[in-house]
């Protein structure tokens, strides 16, 4: 019988990284993600890995860039203001086609904001938060088990597509304890890293770079990156559907908010209301087609977020012509999360 | 016995070799190379000692030295 | 007769983009000679920075990772920790290393990362067109200090080799110049020594090389070279500041 553990979401991320073969971690302390570096500072040395507490978020993302350039699996983690600092390096990694896992246990802003749970980093995560017009893969776990499973998946996707991959969660998912089945790393055919620097070793020179100055080179490079984003949309979209059969109102929410929305939907179904949930698990690539599919039978979509409206824009882009899209959200600051009752009231209002 | 060869097309005519040569054998020529510079040339080649200081100071690795 | 001076194997036989009289070419060659001398070409990973030295991979026949502006020593840290058996160096200018990358260089040095850092100090931002750098001399006119660097407002130029020498993690720190045969021969020696430190696993080694930037100094190559030997060396003293 598989052993069930009782761990924090942040710990699950760290455990999954190790199971995925990650032996290099570079980070900087920030609440509410510090359990991740704390765990890895303890465990990586036992595995002959390297843990560096860097001088800044900027340094840590660049250490990740350097380690990833050699072909090893490596990770960094932070929270919103720290992710802002990392965006420079993320853009360079995207431009240099480097894999690497970045965990964002986000907090509220703007500026120093606060440390309570927030989903206000949706834009800076899925829209290419740094300069230059790129995307990274963004996975949004909603449970401790998913923190584990999606972190392992993140390493695979990063390697397959040669792209930075982000885990976007918040303190609700990162700090809570739940049962976890720590699955073994799935066996998967991964492409050889024949681009990684290793010292020429008698072979051809290898260069990891994002500078393209030759006539037409950069345009060709950008189209190449764009083709990967299109391939992700075809091959890697993940989402969860809950009680969507016969729904007259489709709630769309991700991460922590989706958990609360699910409870609200259970209550709604008990009250005989025809409401379902579509929870994007990949925020990029976004489940555009899955949403559109739902609007064949359901003409009302209610987007719930812990911000003043971000993912709702992607929902509108996906289904605006086929369904009426409304939004309920709360930016952080009230010191509390929305209750299931509060969301149920919104469901009733929009049905 | 020593000699140098100057790659006239690589030379950017900076003249650093002219001050490195203790024998003052190097000068900039009047002709223009395909980069638009006036490359260095050597006078009185028989007096070259092959010390290689001209080659050492050349930023463009345009000088080869033989002894 | 035998050829007694030739291009190092690890330096590609190509025309550089450097201006006439720029010392980057010389410094590139000295680094390449050291790569050849220690026989590490096959296991060297260079980290390029942003500035005139960004095309490292175009000139050195070695594997290269390109770092964001100022971050070369952080990138090199990641490379070296993942591949301790490789020889890892960065090559950075003064704007890159001593301004935007100050935090990265100080902490890489302080951790005693087993890497070698080549720091090219030409008292200006070359690639962007000659703006004031952290190493611009007091009174020096640049495109962003048109009245000359003002010590009261801009501070005095930073002496990185001395500053880093104070850190426990630094095994070797020196400043050299390539403006004259005498200085150049010493520079060659110190650069090779910096290599030796890493080859022997002795820790962080740092070499500051004074360089001319004739174009942005508004001087002809010989006058710029002369300035290195007078004004620059007068403030940035040559020497070995740490030698563990």
Q: Scanning the structure block, which residue is given the tokens 């690589």?
A: B10
Confidence (pLDDT) at A141 = 98
- Position A210 scores a pLDDT of 97
Residue of chain C minimizing CA distance to B53: C181
- Judge whether residue B33 has pLDDT over 90: yes
Confidence of residue A215 (pLDDT cuts 50, 70, 90): very high
Q: List pLDDT tens digits, range A38-91.
A: 999 999 999 999 999 999 999 999 999 999 999 999 999 999 999 999 999 999
How many beta-carbon contacts under 8 Å exist across B and C? 77
CA distance C62 to chain A (A): 6
Confidence of residue A332 (pLDDT cuts 50, 70, 90): confident
Task: Report which DSSP code applies to A216.
Answer: T
ipTM over 0.95: yes
> Does residue A294 share a domain with residue A171?
no
Report how far residue A101's alpha carbon sits from residue A120's, in angstroms, rounded to the nearest whole number: 20
Looking at A235, A264, A296, the residue that finishes a domain is A235
- pLDDT of the residue at C52: 94
At A334 the pLDDT is: 66
CB contact under 8 A, C104 and A52: no
Cβ contact A199–C87 (<8 Å): yes
Beta-ladder partners of C121: C210
Q: How is domain C24-132+158-243 classified at the architecture level of CATH?
A: 3-Layer(aba) Sandwich (3.40)
Q: Can you give the CATH number for the domain in which A230 is found?
A: 3.40.50.970
- CB C215, CB C130: distance < 8 Å: yes
Q: How far apart are CA C21 and CA B11, in angstroms?
A: 10
pLDDT at A168: 98
Query: DSSP E strands: which ranges in chain B?
Result: 3-6, 26-28, 40-42, 63-66
Q: Find which of A208, A218, A221 to mutate to test the C interface (most C CBs within 10 Å of its CB).
A: A208
- Same domain for A128 and A252, yes or no, is no
pLDDT band of residue A333 (cuts 50, 70, 90) is confident
The whole-angstrom distance between A90's CA and the closest CA on chain C is 10
pLDDT at site C108: 98
Q: Does the pLDDT at position B29 exceed 60?
A: yes
Q: Does B27 touch chain C (CB under 8 A)?
A: no
* Interface check A92 vs C, CB under 8 A: yes
Q: In this structure, is residue A259 part of a structural domain? A: yes
Q: Topology of B3-66 in CATH?
A: Alpha-Beta Plaits (3.30.70)
Considering the domain architecture, whether residues A145 and A291 belong to the same structural domain is answered as no
Structure tokens that stand for A22 in this block: 């990650």
Any chain C CB within 8 A of the CB of B3? Answer: yes
Mutation pick from C13, C64, C74 vs chain A, by most beta carbons of A within 10 Å, is: C74
Q: Which candidate from C2, C6, C184 shows the least CB-CB separation from B57?
A: C184
pTM of the complete model? 0.97
Question: In chain C, what are the domain boundaries?
Answer: 24-132+158-243
B28 to chain C, any CB pair closer than 8 A? The answer is no
Q: Which chains touch B (3 or more CB pairs under 8 A)?
A: C
Q: Whole domain around residue A35: which residue ranges?
A: 4-191+223-235
Residue A253 CA, chain-centre distance (Å), reads 14
Could you tell me if A67 lies within 8 Å of chain C, comparing CB atoms?
A: yes
**Least CB-CB distance to C1: which of B3, B52, B56?**
B3
Contacts of C104 in chain A (CB under 8 A): 55, 58-59, 62
Shortest Cα distance from C10 to chain A (angstroms)?
11
CATH value at residue A280: 3.40.50.920
Same domain, A327 and A187: no
Q: What is the pLDDT of residue C9?
A: 97
Q: Mention every residue, 6+ apart, whose C-beta is less than 8 A from residue B30.
A: B38
Task: Count up the domains in chain A and report the number.
Answer: 2
Asked if A55 reaches chain C (Cβ–Cβ under 8 Å), the answer is: yes
R_g over Cα of chain A: 20
* Separation CA A158–CA A192 (nearest Å): 13
pLDDT tier, A1 (very low <50, low <70, confident <90, very high otherwise): low
Query: A282: pLDDT confidence band, cut at 50, 70 and 90?
Result: very high
Q: Which two tokens stand for residue C178?
A: 């390539």
Read off the pLDDT of residues B58-67 as tens digits, 9 standing for 90 and up. 999 999 999 9
The answer, for B57 touching chain C at a CB cutoff of 8 Å, is yes
Residue B54 pLDDT > 70, yes or no?
yes
Residues A145 and A266 in one domain: no
**Least CA distance to C25: which residue of chain B?**
B59
Chain C residues closer than 8 Å to A92 by CB: 66-68
Over range A149-168, report the average pLDDT.
98
Which is it for strands B3-6 and A207-208: parallel, antiparallel or unpaired? unpaired
* Whether A274 and A136 share a structural domain: no
Q: Please, is B44 exposed, middle or buried when counting C-beta atoms within 10 Å of its C-beta (0-12, 13-18, 19+)? A: exposed
Q: Are residues A177 and A247 in the same domain?
A: no
Q: Using CB atoms, which chains have 3+ pairs under 8 A with C?
A: A, B
Tell me the mean pLDDT in the region A262-280: 98
The answer on pLDDT for A336 being more than 80 is no
Contacts of C27 (CB under 8 A, 6+ apart): C118, C120, C178, C209, C211
Q: At what angle do helices A80-95 and A57-69 cross, to 10 degrees?
A: 30
pLDDT above 90 for B44: no
In the predicted structure, residue A182 carries a pLDDT above the cut 80: yes
Residue from C75, C80, C110, C112 whose CB has the most chain A CBs within 10 Å, to mutate: C75
Please list the pLDDT of chain C residue by residue as tens digits (244 residues). 999 999 999 999 999 999 999 999 999 999 999 999 999 999 999 999 999 999 999 999 999 999 999 999 999 999 999 999 999 999 999 999 999 999 999 999 999 999 999 999 999 999 999 999 999 999 999 999 999 999 999 999 999 999 999 999 999 999 999 999 999 999 999 999 999 999 999 999 999 999 999 999 999 999 999 999 999 999 999 999 999 9
Contact flag A205-C64 (C-beta cutoff 8 Å): yes
Q: What is the pLDDT of residue C16?
A: 96
In chain C, which residues have their Cβ closer than 8 Å to the Cβ of A59?
71, 74, 77, 103-104, 107
B and C interact (at least 3 Cβ pairs within 8 A): yes
* Closest in C43, C47, C75 to A201, CB measured: C43
Q: With an 8 Å Cβ cutoff, are A210 and C47 in contact?
A: no
One domain for residues A172 and A34: yes
């Amino acid at each position: 019988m598989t052993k069930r553990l009782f761990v924090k979401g942040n710990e699950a991320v760290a455990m999954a990284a190790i199971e995925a073969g990650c032996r290099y971690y570079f980070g900087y302390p920030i609440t509410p993600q510090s359990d991740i570096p704390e765990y890895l500072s303890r465990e990586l040395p036992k595995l002959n890995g390297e843990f560096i507490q860097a001088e800044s978020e900027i340094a840590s993302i660049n250490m990740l860039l350097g380690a990833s350039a050699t072909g090893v699996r490596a990770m960094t983690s932070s929270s919103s203001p720290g992710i802002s600092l990392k965006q420079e390096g993320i853009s360079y990694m995207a431009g240099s086609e480097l894999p690497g896992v970045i965990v964002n246990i986000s907090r509220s802003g703007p500026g120093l904001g606060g440390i309570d749970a927030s989903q206000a980093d949706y834009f800076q995560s899925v829209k290419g938060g740094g300069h230059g017009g790129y995307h990274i893969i963004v996975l949004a776990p909603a449970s401790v088990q998913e923190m584990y499973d999606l972190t392992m998946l993140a390493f695979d996707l990063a390697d397959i597509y040669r792209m930075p991959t982000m885990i976007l969660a918040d303190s609700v998912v990162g700090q809570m304890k739940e049962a976890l089945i720590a699955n073994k790393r799935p066996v998967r055919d991964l492409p050889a890293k024949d681009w990684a620097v290793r010292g020429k070793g008698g072979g051809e020179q290898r260069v990891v770079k994002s500078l393209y100055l030759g006539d037409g080179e950069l345009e060709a490079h950008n189209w190449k990156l764009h083709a990967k984003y299109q391939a992700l949309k075809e091959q890697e979209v993940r989402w969860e559907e809950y009680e969507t059969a016969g729904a007259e109102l489709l709630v769309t929410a991700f991460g922590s908010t989706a958990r609360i929305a699910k409870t609200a939907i259970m209550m709604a179904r008990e009250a005989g209301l025809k409401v379902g949930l579509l929870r994007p698990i990949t925020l990029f690539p976004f489940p555009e087609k899955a949403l559109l599919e739902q609007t064949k039978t359901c003409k009302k979509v209610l987007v719930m977020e812990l911000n003043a409206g971000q993912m709702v824009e992607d929902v509108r882009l996906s289904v605006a012509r086929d369904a009426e899209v409304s939004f309920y959200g709360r930016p952080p600051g009230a010191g509390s999360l929305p209750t299931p009752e509060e969301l149920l009231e919104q469901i009733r209002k929009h049905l | 016995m020593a000699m140098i060869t100057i790659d006239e097309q690589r030379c950017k005519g900076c003249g650093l070799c002219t001050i490195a040569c203790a024998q003052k054998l190097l000068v900039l020529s009047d002709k223009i190379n395909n980069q638009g510079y006036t490359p260095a040339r050597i006078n009185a080649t028989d007096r070259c000692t092959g010390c290689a200081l001209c080659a050492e100071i050349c930023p463009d690795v345009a000088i080869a030295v033989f002894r | 007769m035998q050829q007694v001076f030739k291009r190092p194997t690890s330096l590609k036989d190509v025309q550089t983009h450097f201006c006439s009289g720029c010392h980057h070419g010389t410094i590139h060659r000295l680094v390449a000679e050291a790569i050849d001398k220690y026989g590490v070409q096959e296991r060297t990973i260079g980290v390029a920075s942003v500035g005139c030295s960004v095309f490292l991979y175009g000139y050195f026949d070695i594997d290269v990772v390109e770092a964001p502006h100022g971050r070369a020593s952080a990138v090199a840290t990641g490379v070296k920790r993942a591949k301790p058996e490789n020889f890892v160096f960065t090559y950075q200018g003064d704007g890159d290393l001593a301004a935007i990358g100050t935090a990265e260089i100080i902490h890489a040095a302080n951790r005693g990362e087993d890497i070698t850092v080549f720091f090219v100090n030409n008292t200006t931002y070359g690639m962007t067109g000659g703006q004031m750098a952290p190493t611009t001399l007091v009174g020096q006119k640049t495109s962003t200090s048109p009245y000359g660097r003002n010590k009261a407002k801009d501070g005095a130029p930073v002496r990185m080799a001395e500053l880093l020498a104070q850190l426990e993690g630094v095994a070797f720190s020196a400043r050299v110049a390539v403006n004259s045969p005498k200085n150049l021969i010493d520079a060659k020696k110190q650069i090779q020594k910096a290599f030796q430190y890493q080859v022997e696993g002795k820790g962080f080694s740092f070499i500051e090389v004074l360089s001319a930037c004739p174009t942005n100094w508004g001087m002809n190559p010989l006058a710029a070279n002369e300035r290195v030997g007078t004004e620059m060396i007068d403030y940035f003293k040559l020497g070995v500041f740490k030698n563990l």
